[in-house]
Structure 1
């Protein structure tokens, strides 16, 4: 199989979760969680055995596999297994090994609940485990006289599910002339538990954010080792979608990520509000109480399976927190103050972010949303503000109640937040915004829903990774998008041959199969005056 997903098993293009699924779960019951140079380098293209390319990293040799157009090195440890006393500790360096490590098999995905869906298991291959801090490198097989830019992908999944191996970066690497790195990071309670006992262990008095620290450890590994694979450690683009896109923006404002990347791409996930350290520690203490644990020693003695089960408590929210150190400020506040890494940023959303959540909550659960149920759902979500929301989204202006609710979720939770972050960044650095608008992006799945899915959350991923086999217009759009993304990794400017020029914010590049256009009415189209007022901006 070619495209963005594992060659070992066919995957769908939508595999990450939007950030607020947990917040909505109690209201929209049943919503689906989808969502320095290297040493001793032997560049992949110069390997002695083409079928078993070998590279020497700082920690030992890895032997990968040769594909049709790219070499792949899977399951490379970038940190020590966070088990035993290392559970809920910042990542430690991996151990060195002797001989050539087999890098043809993925490492385990991180601990997570079963995410089986009609589209496959979102964890990807392998058995979920605490021993999961592995990454994968995909490098073009064709020789290059110069080091290639590097693109490091952070997967989505609501900070609770997913894996790096679920995405095959081979085609993106080969067609974009880049090195692609995908990675795992700790998820759920294992990655984001904040607790006073953990803060007491920390020299800085903080807890939580272990998953974010894992990602930064992977970026440091890239800086130290990627030259061995033909990559340029001085030209690193970090990119991700949903929770991965949110992580990208969190690294933009994290002092600890300084110098680890040089460009950033945030897809459907920048600017979400995060809990404070204090509130998250309070939540963590309450969660520990449900396990009968009054201290961290008790929690560390619990088997991973028991922690995973307890982590499914609907009252728990496993996300990064603003701790004053790893994350000093909320994303919009940091951007407004200019306290972020001044690298070029490309970011955007899909035109119909919220529709798949509506589909999985209603149609796929056997109870399509009705006209009578529409205001009930809106009132449950927005309380005293519901009348103002319903007045701006009258049912008569939409084909179905599901499309109306999908528009509300799209605008309130994605479009306007990302428009705001693009605007704030534009005052300090090159800022580019897009809207992915292939209204038939997921038609090929033939899902049994009563309304058009349009361009929902995650539907742009396979266009970026080179996994589209659709109409000629869709294939052309995918080629242009892959070109835009990889040109940005090469130059910091999203230029693509045979594609329209992409201007900086406030113009928004609308990516549609019919024609790519520049829009200046994005905030009006998504009723951002309503949602910005609610956000106090």
Structure 2
């Protein structure tokens, strides 16, 4: 038991003072790279200047510029203070001097690469840390600050060295910080699991494909990653020039671009806003992640991946109408329409659109990744989340919304009940404990040679001959069970149709 309300840690950059909360040591707002401001905007994250005095680590660091109302409505809460100076991370640890180093879990928040922060309530690391891991969350550059291409910036690099995915480089810098420092927090730098939801899950897939991330982590968990294609660099360059023109900077220099106030970017909307995907073709992500997985050339690390039963709930935030999408397929893709009618029972366009969008844009991604893992000779596990909290089932008639699994897998239901007129129940909390135990056991025990994850039900690694998917919940039932050949026919077909049908516009 920790008695002191403050705790000190010496890192490679300097000494930190954190706090102790319910026997968990918490360190907030730790800088993992230099502020990416001024001449460092749109550059690789630079090293932090070491500090000599004791640094307070009890307050959240700044988050990247974003739409606060959007984050409050869909991103998990209030992201706090905005600044271009946003490269900070947070650490929860149950023991800074354990008898054996503890597994490390690094959470990368979602939000379409435009909203979010590592300090939001659903991402609290305390519950999992109390069960024996060191948990890290981080902020990184969002929107145009995180993903940007322009000829004037490209000119600063030698051939083949161009960088456009600054957000992914931030995540890589945070993982380098983990390798340097996590042992001081009781963590095992040789057992690091990266995990994330939505664009956080897409980040994990991208890091599995980035040559710059190799060796910085040992396994990954991907929740609700979408199968939208990465943005080609030539398209990103055209968008960058259009953004510069919007600010009356046709033929802009790099200096002029860096002089644009950081807060002026996030309000930009389509077609000047970046999509919720990285840019393919730079030094960070030389080949699009979906292409890399289809070729089974991702890093050979164990992977868990899955999605929810009503992922289509997120479509409205992307400006996609499910019924209109079905109508478009009916008009423009006759063969696809016949296949869809064959695969799905009769339904109105809205219901059918939600199901098809869920499966093509989300469920199939898990199947593609699991197959790639098998082809690469490393284990992968596939899940499907279909549980809705007992007091809210009338609000979610189509199943688990995009993102609603997060407080279950991170066991943070208790931090999300304040002011709710539909509180989580004891049964909800028990189910969260059971689900999160799989995440913990993956981090604790899985190696490239593992064939099962332990839990309420033994979860076998995915294999095409068995095609085992672990189902978490059956809408009204807190059921955990293995399903064989889950949506197999749909997955086999949609894997081939993804490039044709998965588009935002």
TM-score range, shorter chain: 0.7 to 0.9
Which residue number corresponds to residue 420 of structure 1? 368
Taking structure 1 as the reference length, what is the TM-score of the superposition? Answer: 0.81
Distance in structure 2 (CA, Å) of the matches to 1:336 and 1:445: 37
Q: CA deviation at 1:536?
A: 7.5
Question: Are the structure 2 counterparts of residues 472 and 335 from structure 1 closer, same or farther at C-alpha, using a change threshold of 3 Å?
Answer: same
Contact 2:163/2:282, CA 8 A, preserved across alignment: no
Which residue number corresponds to residue 476 of structure 1? 430
Question: Are the structure 2 counterparts of residues 375 and 58 from structure 1 closer, same or farther at C-alpha, using a change threshold of 3 Å?
Answer: closer
Question: Are the structure 2 counterparts of residues 353 and 422 from structure 1 closer, same or farther at C-alpha, using a change threshold of 3 Å?
Answer: same
Between 110-119 and 280-289, report the one with greater CA deviation.
110-119
Which residue number corresponds to residue 418 of structure 2? none
Distance in structure 2 (CA, Å) of the matches to 1:144 and 1:277: 46
Q: Which runs of 5+ in 2 are unaligned?
A: 415-423
1:463 pairs with 408, 412, 422, which one?
Answer: 408
**Per-residue displacement from partner, 1:503-527 (whole Å, max 9, x unpaired)?**
1112111111432221222233746
Contact 1:395/1:404, CA 8 A, preserved across alignment: no
Between 277-286 and 467-476, report the one with greater CA deviation.
467-476
Contact 1:509/1:519, CA 8 A, preserved across alignment: yes
Which residue number corresponds to residue 261 of structure 2? 303
Which residue number corresponds to residue 234 of structure 1? 190
Secondary structure (helix, strand or coil) at the match of 1:151 reads strand
Which residue number corresponds to residue 431 of structure 1? 380
Taking structure 2 as the reference length, what is the TM-score of the superposition? Answer: 0.86
Question: Are the structure 2 counterparts of residues 313 and 233 from structure 1 closer, same or farther at C-alpha, using a change threshold of 3 Å?
Answer: same
Question: Are the structure 2 counterparts of residues 359 and 326 from structure 1 closer, same or farther at C-alpha, using a change threshold of 3 Å?
Answer: closer
Secondary structure (helix, strand or coil) at the match of 2:112 reads coil
Contact 1:241/1:269, CA 8 A, preserved across alignment: yes
Between 109-118 and 474-483, report the one with greater CA deviation.
109-118
Which residue number corresponds to residue 297 of structure 2? 339
Secondary structure (helix, strand or coil) at the match of 1:434 reads strand
Distance in structure 2 (CA, Å) of the matches to 1:533 and 1:308: 33
Question: Are the structure 2 counterparts of residues 445 and 534 from structure 1 closer, same or farther at C-alpha, using a change threshold of 3 Å?
Answer: closer
Distance in structure 1 (CA, Å) of the matches to 2:478 and 2:109: 29
Contact 2:361/2:498, CA 8 A, preserved across alignment: no
Q: Which runs of 5+ in 1 are unaligned?
A: 1-44, 363-368
1:533 pairs with 494, 497, 501, which one?
Answer: 497
Between 88-97 and 470-479, report the one with greater CA deviation.
470-479
Contact 1:240/1:266, CA 8 A, preserved across alignment: yes
**Per-residue displacement from partner, 1:477-498 (whole Å, max 9, x unpaired)?**
311221111111111156344x
Which residue number corresponds to residue 245 of structure 1? 201
Q: CA deviation at 1:305?
A: 2.1
Q: Give the alignment's Cα RMSD to 1 decimal.
A: 2.9
Which residue number corresponds to residue 182 of structure 1? 137
Alignment of 1:50-199 (within 5 A): 50-116=4-70, 119=73, 122=76, 124-141=78-95, 144-166=98-120, 167-175=123-131, 177-199=132-154
Distance in structure 2 (CA, Å) of the matches to 1:531 and 1:247: 20
Contact 1:69/1:171, CA 8 A, preserved across alignment: no
Q: CA deviation at 1:535?
A: 3.2
Report how many aligned residue pairs link the two structures: 474
Distance in structure 2 (CA, Å) of the matches to 1:442 and 1:283: 45
Question: Are the structure 2 counterparts of residues 433 and 341 from structure 1 closer, same or farther at C-alpha, using a change threshold of 3 Å?
Answer: same
Distance in structure 2 (CA, Å) of the matches to 1:107 and 1:382: 49
Q: CA deviation at 1:360?
A: 10
Contact 1:196/1:207, CA 8 A, preserved across alignment: no
Q: CA deviation at 1:126?
A: 2.4
Q: CA deviation at 1:90?
A: 0.5
Contact 1:436/1:511, CA 8 A, preserved across alignment: yes
- In the alignment, is residue 355 of structure 1 matched against residue 313 of structure 2? yes
